Amino acid sequence: MPYYIDAERVSLDDLKKRIEETDLVPSRSSLLEDIDGTFLKLKAHGFATLADLRKELKNPKKIPALATETGVDPAYLTLLRREIEGYFPKAHPVSAFDWLRKADLDNLESSGLKNAALLYDALASPGRREETATALGIDPDLIDSLYALADLTRIQWVSPTAARMLVAAGYTDAKTVATADPEKLCSDLDRVNREHTYFRGTIGLRDVRRLVKAASYVS
């Protein structure tokens, strides 16, 4: 599976279902208002896949014209754009994994593996991880760790620090997060955070439920 979801294979019906099944943050809850009618208008305009729609929404300046053409409120299209872009998380630079040895990170960067997406694609199999470790003179365990971190950052909302927490809690890939019991995952994350203080505050079960759901789309 590639770093990002294949937008060409996500139909508009799939997108609608994902929005309906997501515990949306309050600022995006209006996406559910007349979602059936809105998506019918988008389909009638010719949009068939997430890729089609994302391409048209990519430039915010085009939204007013698209709203006129489709009959969909521009404010709705703006929110929809933000929701969709959240499905394609930023590929963090390798330097963001700054708790690891800088010399190794610099080595990876100079070899062209500059961000999490490139890492994930280049280290996709055990054989390729072994080849990379040998070619760059980097400890194989570190290469395995970086692959796990890159995989986890494919999940919506997972930053490098959040990926580090997940690994520390025993969740080393998107699939283990997707199949996790939210209450146990919440407890595990809270435990490692109390032990290592990755960030201030407590882990909310509602956010963890969102995390598990988001992981299901990339596992």
Cβ–Cβ under 8 Å, residues 155 and 116: no
Cβ–Cβ under 8 Å, residues 217 and 87: yes
Beta bridge mates, 115: 93
In the prediction, which pLDDT does 8 show?
97
In the prediction, which pLDDT does 182 show?
98
In the prediction, which pLDDT does 122 show?
94
pTM of the model: 0.93
Mean pLDDT split into 10-residue runs, the chain, 219 residues:
94 98 95 98 98 96 97 98 95 96 95 97 95 95 96 97 97 98 97 94 93 96
At position 60, the amino acid (one-letter code) is: P
| Residue 126 Cα distances to 69, 106, 131, 141, angstroms | 49, 22, 9, 11
Eight-state DSSP code of residue 115: B
In the prediction, which pLDDT does 201 show?
83
- Give the pLDDT confidence of 90-123 residue by residue, as tens digits: 899 999 999 999 999 999 999 999 999 999 999 9
